[in-house]
């Protein structure tokens, strides 16, 4: 099947007006100050003021 009508520039561009990517939102770790994703555990083991995990450095 083929499209009945050619899609106009306007219609194509209107559809693509929603395609732009938004910048990724980061929050800053309160313990080490690095950027991390909100609601995620930081590399240092910090989650929130009442919960954090001690990560032993295995290197």
- DSSP state string for 25-51: P-EE-TTT--EE-TTS--TTSEEETTE
Complex with Zn ion: residue 15 or 30, whichever CB lies closer:
30
Pairing between β-strand 46-48 and β-strand 35-36 as defined by DSSP bridges: unpaired
Complex with Zn ion: residue 11 or 31, whichever CB lies closer:
31
Q: Give the residue ranges of DSSP H helices in the chain.
A: 9-16
Q: For the window 30-49, what string marks contact with Zn ion as x by the rule CB under 5 A?
A: -xx---------x-x-x---
Least gap, CB of 21 to Zn ion (angstroms): 26
Residues that bind Zn ion (CB under 5 A): 29, 31-32, 42, 44, 46
């Amino acid at each position: 099947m083929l499209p009945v009508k050619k899609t106009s520039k306007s219609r194509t561009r209107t559809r693509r007006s929603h395609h732009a990517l938004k910048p990724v939102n980061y929050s800053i770790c309160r313990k080490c100050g690095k950027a991390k994703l909100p609601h995620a555990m930081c590399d240092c083991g910090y989650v929130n003021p009442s919960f954090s995990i001690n990560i032993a450095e295995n290197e």
